[in-house]
A and B are shown apart, each in its own frame.
Chain A
Amino acid sequence: MKFKNLIVYWRTVLMVAEITLRHQWNDSFILFAIIVQPMIIAILALFMLRGLGGDYAMYVVVGSGLTGLWSSLLFISGNSINNERREGTLESLVAVPTPFEVIVFGKNLANVVQSLISMSSSYLLAALFFGYTLKMVSPLLFVGSVLISIFAFISFGLVIAPLFIIYRGIQQWQNAMEFPVYILAGFLFPIALLPAWTTPVSYVLPPYWAARALHETSTGAGDVEKVIFAWGMMLLFSVIDLFLASKLFKYMLYKARVDASLETV
């Protein structure tokens, strides 16, 4: 996907995001993915990790919020093209002059931004129901980390959605892909606990770098250099993901046109 398209079509991106938000707000599964599930995981983690001392509450708030972000990306953004097909709007979206990936970018923007509610709801849960005093150590760096994480998650989602369409076999593993990323990205416990051979896998996952940046800025566990490095990795992976997405979208649409299977891909 070309960066230029995001600037040229910024109005379209925002409009698609707005419509997506309006559309999805009545979907109970989405409410589950972005509010209920992260809150239940937060409750579990708050009970399970309470032996670790005071700072873990903020760690749990951020980590459980990230689980909501990933689940939303996997199930909602991952199915975003499929859903258009089911509703019969895919042909129209492909036919309009706006590049199709720009439209999916807007949809992913809405999904990822609405998923941030999961972090807020976990924050309220820990503060109001568990009575923790939660202190953000580096608020400015945290906000910066959130913004870059949003971009990294959207870009990652742009790779997942066409992959699920082109290779249906991958989508069959969708249910089994939720917890592995919670584990490998270190959302709620450090990846140092895992066997050493899994570390390179964690390093190629954008959610891992997002978790690092957000944990380090919220709990003060890392210095500025480490945070900047995590930002750099997220931006690097975003560029790679956008490049891959452009190829995948081109191939997906070409294949759909050749096979005349746009509605049945």
Chain B
Amino acid sequence: MQVWKRCEMKIFANNLRLFWQGTVLSYVALFAWFRPVTYAASKVLMPLAQIIFFTYLGSYATGKDSVDFYVIGNAIQITAVSGIFGVTFSISGDRWNGTLPYLFGTPANRMMMFFGRAFMHIIDGALGVVIALTWGALLFGVDFSQTNLSALGLTILVTTISTCGLGLLMGCLSLITANVMFVNNTVYFLLLIFSGANVALDTLPPWMQTFSQVLPLTRGIASARTLISGGSFAEVAPLLISEIGIGLLYGWLGYLLFKWFEIQAKRNGSLETV
């Protein structure tokens, strides 16, 4: 019994180490060539510019009272920069840099390897949302005085995790298509419409509303708006449960695709060519 437990602990420790190493190394590999200024341009100024553009565009039509709607929607949607682009590049990077055969040649736990790719982007994405909301408060006067900040923090974390779930699925698609930039950019911009970041969902045609409900971000944005306008955690809890469920489902689908890709690539001898 003791030996069995020690063995289990060792496997657990090894998996944890693998998860952490995969997390750190994939993130460093993605951003190593970046200078802080490039990071600032992508993570601070680009989100700011997006928020300003859509907030002015929206308030041009509906007046200044609606500023909060656009600032919060776009600030939360910013998590997709890390969730979609960051996670996808972390996975597809192994293909483009020729390290995929080595990864698939190891006996390492695939689940740890796969989900480890998203971990740093969850932290990074959540930080991006905090920066974006800070811009919203400083430039557009978004008021957080009525906000349950810990619930908002949880909302940001949950939404980032669910968006990274979609990113994991997109990352696997990048293993089977060369048009990864096209797919990523298209998904990112479609989220601007379907997540309700810029258009109230009840004003969209029914088929678009239905589609919105199967996407990450939709409930996270609704939850953040409710909390910032003074809503309680109990009001948003069902939204957050659905949001994390959707994210985990996408992540799981991504993992299945990742496994399928490995089996097919080994069977067809197409690991480097698919």
Contact = CB atoms under 8 A, between A and B. Distances in A.
Contact of B46 (A28, A37, A44, A175): A175
Interface string B185-213: 11001101100001100011000000000
Interface stretch (B48-56, B119-127, B143-151, B236-244): B48-56
A183 B181 contact: no
Interface string A9-42: 0000000000000000000110110001100110
B20 to A, nearest CB: 29
B60 A189 contact: yes
A103 interface: no
A32 B185 contact: yes
Interface stretch (B36-44, B129-137, B161-169, B254-262): B36-44
Interface string A43-66: 111011111100000000000000
B56 A175 contact: no
Contacts of B41: 172-176
Chain A residues touching B, majority SS: helix
A40 B199 contact: no
Given A179-B49, A183-B53, A189-B56, A37 B189 contact: yes
A109 to B, nearest CB: 24
Contacts, number: 89
B1 interface: no
B106 interface: no
B58 interface: yes
Interface residues of A, number: 33
B45 interface: yes
A40 B56 CA distance: 17
Contact of A32 (B45, B186, B198): B186
B4 interface: no
A85 to B, nearest CB: 17
A189 B62 CA distance: 12
A28 B46 CA distance: 23
A172 B37 contact: yes
Contact of A49 (B38, B49, B60): B60
Interface in A179-198: 179-180, 182-183, 188-190, 193-194
A28 B57 contact: no
B35 interface: yes
A47 B142 CA distance: 24
A51 B185 contact: no
Given A37-B185, A40-B192, A179 B53 contact: yes
B97 interface: no
A179 B50 CA distance: 6
A92 to B, nearest CB: 27
Contacts of A48: 57-58, 61-62, 198-199
A175 B52 contact: no
B182 interface: yes
A178 B41 CA distance: 11
Contact of B192 (A44, A183, A190): A44
Nearest to B181: A29
B185 A44 contact: no
A200 interface: no
Interface string B71-102: 00000000000000000000000000000000
Given A32-B186, A44-B193, A51-B62, 8 more contacts: A29-B185, A40-B189, A41-B189, A44-B54, A44-B192, A48-B62, A173-B41, A179-B52
7 contacts: A36-B189, A48-B199, A172-B41, A173-B45, A175-B41, A175-B42, A189-B60
Interface of B: 35, 37-38, 41-42, 45-46, 49-50, 52-54, 56-62, 179, 181-182, 185-186, 189-190, 192-193, 198-199, 203-204
